[in-house]
Structure 1
Amino acid sequence: MKTLTNNSQMAYNLFCFIAIVFILYSLKPFIVPLLFAILFSIMMYPIAIYFERQWRFNRIASSLMVVFLLVIIFTGLFTFIGFQIKDVIGKSELYSEKLNTLNLEILQYTENNFGIDKKQLLSDKSLKIENLIKNNFSKISDFITESGGFISDIFLVPIYIFFFLLYRKFFVTFIHRAFPKKDNAYLNIILKKIYQTQQNYLSGLSVVMLIVALLNSFGLLLLGIENAIFYGFLGAFLLLIPYIGILVGSLLPAFIALITKDSVWYSVGVIVVFAFVQVIEGNFITPKITGAKISINAFVCILALVIFAMLWGVAGMVLALPVTATAKIIFDQIPSMKPYGFLMGEPDKDYLRSTAYNRLANWKKIRAQKMNRISH
């Protein structure tokens, strides 16, 4: 009977998991902008409180002021990106000529070292640079289609942020009423942990991104890379995608260096700069600024990135860590879900030691206990 109950519970959990994944995938256009609005609301909440306490703004005025500030920040950001992209597009013919020259040099090297006829490669239409864009036109169309959804989110997210800040106490009361069997203090502890974790993570990440952007830009300026500040800030912005963001951010300036400089070592230098900054960021900058605020182990982080990328694409990769961190906090507070919270957390040093080391440590501990008994 107990086995049947356990099997029924496992089947129920599996059904719930499949249902949740289906809902998250199906409602992506609704859930993703809502989650981004929640994160921005948490990040900007201290500013709203500052307006209310220091400047005596009412709730509506403070919420509007926060939305106005966000609009100004993102308008300036998109304007900067637009001018940089316009500059890159203006040099597209020059880049194309240098890329064709580089292509011919590679084909000549291939013919000299591997005996492959250069004319045969040039006759292959699929290898011509002008056909690369044609062959990938469907991907470009998909990107434009997704951009349409992104543009609609630009108008929805500020509205969501305004109402989240305006109705914040109303939503908290709703949570208390939605779980009447739970003690209010217990629910407040969970909400406070979620808020503090997200607040520290988001504010710390903003500072880290600014520092990394300055370091990237300085390194690219030393190498003489065109649009160094733009690529430096782009690489820092991609820190929103853990682990792989900095790698993706280094590829574009490395490619630009390859086709604009007279030596391949400039491209190598770009990758070295980004790798060096990544090492400094991971080992010194982030631990000092954000600390271990999101205590999720690296394996779970990678799994979360893969799963959320499959569900929501690039937006899912950005949201993966905040959502996973929130899930861990909730799991840690629910007795039946604590094993999953434990699995998502950082393991202690004892779990990372080898079996032989553990046996030696246990042997020393037992031997010390025996010696204490003999001495007494």
Structure 2
Amino acid sequence: MNLGQWIGLIAIILSLYILWQIKEVLLLMFAAIVLATTLNRLARWFQRWGIRRGFAVLLAVGIFFALIVGFFWLIVPPFAAQFHELTYRVPQGFERFNSWVNTLKTQVPNQLVPYIPDIDSLIQQAQPFINRLVGNSFAFVSGSLEAVLKILLVLVLTGMLLANPQAYRKVFVRLFPSFYRRRVDGILDKCETSLGGWVIGALIAMGVVGLMSVIGLSALGVKAALALGVLAGFLNLIPNLGPTMSVVPAMAIALLDAPWKAVAVLILYFFIQQAESNFITPVVMAHQVSLLPAVTLIAQLFFVTFFGFLGLFLALPLTVVAKIWLQEVLIKDVLDEWGHNSKKEAELVIVSNSPGLDDPWGENNPDIHAERSIDDAVQQED
């Protein structure tokens, strides 16, 4: 390689290294783009009904924040009441455990009494774990503050993108060569359509999971069934990990009533998760964005490995966008056209040499003159 090629290679390596270092910022920007695209499609839907752009954007943003406020209004009060009940149920449980241990000590031989643990010995054994948990709580608080700042950053970026989306889109398109800008603009249209389909599919899956959870928990007589169902539907946005997270508060609240309810809740959520992962999400996503289930799972493993929890949360929209760009640029524009240009050049050489040796360029061929006159007319029109 010459000096210019070495400089180009070094520049590519440095660019990839810089992009890797700011990967978290890029993921936050992508989250803002997804949210802005969703709200922009909602605003354009309002515009079809004759509403002006500014008021349509305000209406879309208002609906978004109303959903957030409604979510916390449904979730926080029931959980606060259950947590308050848990604060005096736990000491009662400790007292019952102590009385049961004391009764057991009177019924077993004296040789076995030292081996029966009481509540004090259990607390002493759990002390290292408690200390570790308290130490991790400070990290949890700092991580929560960092998460709040990231959410605020995403919301601010979303507002900026939503205010004038076409300006940012034109800046992105101008990063490509002039001959390819119209093609990039079409690819962006397809990405926007696919992201809209993913949002609709995710909302459908959330609604079905939430409804099944509410019905099942209500049938079991679990308290705060509506709040737990809404939480299960929302956490369904996080693939694989979300359903596991949603079963913990449901089992904890069911355990306040009876141990068998906690087991029943675990079985209920297991069947809901199986229905969601094997039927609901694959069917909905295959219909909305044409994603194969195996591709979805592989993408989740890939993004969670390289980008952590945020990558897992954005795995499906990232997969949707990556699929569009790979399909349109790599497959259609590169692989499908591989060798076609050489064939066309060969055909041109054969046609140009067909008049004979005395006329190698076909100057006396009337067909070629007609083709050239058509090309000249087209160029003059352009």
- TM-score strictly above 0.5: yes
| Aligned CA distance change for structure 1 residues 160 and 123 (closer, same or farther; 3 Å) | same
Q: Report whether the alignment pairs 1:333 with 2:328.
A: yes
Q: CA deviation at 1:154?
A: 5.0
Q: CA deviation at 1:100?
A: 2.9
**Cross-structure match for 1:358:** none
In 2: Cα distance, 1:260 partner to 1:14 partner: 57
**Cross-structure match for 1:148:** 145
Q: CA deviation at 1:290?
A: 3.1
In 2: Cα distance, 1:56 partner to 1:99 partner: 59
Q: Report whether the alignment pairs 1:79 with 2:77.
A: no
**Cross-structure match for 1:345:** none
Q: CA deviation at 1:302?
A: 1.5
| Aligned CA distance change for structure 1 residues 32 and 175 (closer, same or farther; 3 Å) | closer
One-letter identity of the residue aligned with 1:224: G
| Aligned CA distance change for structure 1 residues 32 and 334 (closer, same or farther; 3 Å) | closer
**Cross-structure match for 1:268:** 263
Higher CA-based Rg: 2
1:56 aligned counterpart, secondary structure: coil
One-letter identity of the residue aligned with 1:253: A
CA RMSD of aligned residues (A): 3.7
Unaligned runs of 5+ in 2: 335-382
1:253 aligned counterpart, secondary structure: helix
For 1:302-317, what aligned pairs fall within 5 Å after superposition? 302-309=301-308, 313=309, 315-317=310-312
Does the Cα contact within 8 Å between 1:81 and 1:230 map onto a contact in 2? Answer: yes
Q: CA deviation at 1:189?
A: 2.8
Deviations, residues 8-64 of structure 1 (Å, cap 9, x unaligned): 97x987765543221114x4xxx454333222222222221122231331x333222
Deviations, residues 102-129 of structure 1 (Å, cap 9, x unaligned): 8669989x999xx782337742544458
In 2: Cα distance, 1:41 partner to 1:106 partner: 59
One-letter identity of the residue aligned with 2:188: L
**Cross-structure match for 1:357:** none
**Cross-structure match for 2:39:** 44
| Aligned CA distance change for structure 1 residues 278 and 14 (closer, same or farther; 3 Å) | farther
**Cross-structure match for 1:118:** 116
Deviations, residues 183-235 of structure 1 (Å, cap 9, x unaligned): 23311232122212211111210121012111111111111222222222222
One-letter identity of the residue aligned with 1:331: L
Q: CA deviation at 1:153?
A: 4.6
TM-score, structure 1 normalization:
0.72
Deviations, residues 228-269 of structure 1 (Å, cap 9, x unaligned): 222222222111211222122113322333x32433x32221
**Cross-structure match for 1:362:** none
| Aligned CA distance change for structure 1 residues 56 and 245 (closer, same or farther; 3 Å) | closer
Deviations, residues 150-197 of structure 1 (Å, cap 9, x unaligned): 444554444333322221111221122111344233112321222122
**Cross-structure match for 1:24:** 23
Corresponding residue to 2:227 among 222, 230, 238: 230
In 2: Cα distance, 1:86 partner to 1:199 partner: 35
**Cross-structure match for 1:179:** 176
Does the Cα contact within 8 Å between 2:228 and 2:250 map onto a contact in 1? Answer: yes
| Aligned CA distance change for structure 1 residues 300 and 176 (closer, same or farther; 3 Å) | closer
